């Protein structure tokens, strides 16, 4: 399986990355559903034709329109569990004050407290071996990105992921959002952060 970092609408690069692999998961900030505030026109959509040539899917980030994602046949819904992997999208946008609501930023970028609690309950029930999320637990932020300005802004998503990790530590946790490549094991969980358009080929059957 190929895991791909934030794409941010750079579709030609994305096409190249998925061209030589049969299956991939993109970890959010795909670039779905942006609308030009002036022309009212949608930005270019993901290359659906290329995605359907294999099993190429994505979770949503904070820079994806949640309602547009929900209509996309290749979107992985928050809380999906497959083959001992759990998927959760969403994050907090630190630049939201410079964006336009409904066009380049959406209030639903993070799941609600209630939704996150339901996913926490599900997480504790299934105890996945691998987590794939857009952002990461708070402990990872302070360990991998100690001087990042993003780390000073509270996020209910990161707080919920922190609570999940404290209750059950999966073997692997793959995410994006931070635009910084990192790979570190913390208390038994190997956290892998993918940079923008970085990708990792991960053998789910032999993940040593």
Structural domains of the chain, with CATH: 2-201 (3.60.21)
Give pLDDT, residue 44.
74
Give pLDDT, residue 25.
98
Give pLDDT, residue 113.
97
Residues of the chain predicted below pLDDT 70: 146-152, 206-208
Q: Any idea of the CA torsion for 123, 83, 58, 78, to the nearest 10 degrees?
A: -20
pLDDT, tens digit (0-9, with 9 covering 90-100), for 159-197? 999 999 999 999 999 999 999 999 999 999 999 999 999
d(CA 128, CA 85): 6
């Amino acid at each position: 399986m190929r895991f791909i970092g934030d794409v941010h609408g750079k579709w030609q690069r994305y096409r190249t990355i998925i061209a030589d692999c049969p299956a991939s998961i993109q970890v959010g900030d795909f670039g779905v559903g942006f609308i030009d505030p002036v022309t009212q026109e949608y930005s270019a959509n993901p290359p659906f034709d290329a995605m359907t040539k294999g099993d190429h899917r994505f979770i949503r980030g904070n820079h994806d329109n949640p309602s547009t994602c929900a209509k996309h046949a290749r979107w992985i819904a928050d809380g999906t569990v497959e083959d001992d992997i759990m998927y959760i999208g969403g994050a907090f946008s630190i630049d939201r004050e410079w964006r336009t609501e409904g066009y380049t930023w959406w209030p639903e970028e993070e799941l609600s407290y209630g939704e996150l609690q339901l996913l926490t309950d599900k997480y504790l029930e299934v105890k996945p071996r691998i987590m794939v999320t857009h952002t990461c637990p708070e402990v990872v932020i302070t360990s991998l990105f100690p001087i990042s300005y993003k780390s000073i802004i509270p996020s209910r998503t990161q707080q919920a992921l922190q609570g999940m990790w404290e209750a059950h530590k999966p073997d692997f946790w793959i995410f994006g959002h931070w635009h910084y490549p990192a790979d570190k094991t913390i208390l038994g969980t190997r956290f892998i952060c993918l940079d923008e358009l970085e990708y990792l080929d991960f053998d789910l059957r032999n993940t040593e």
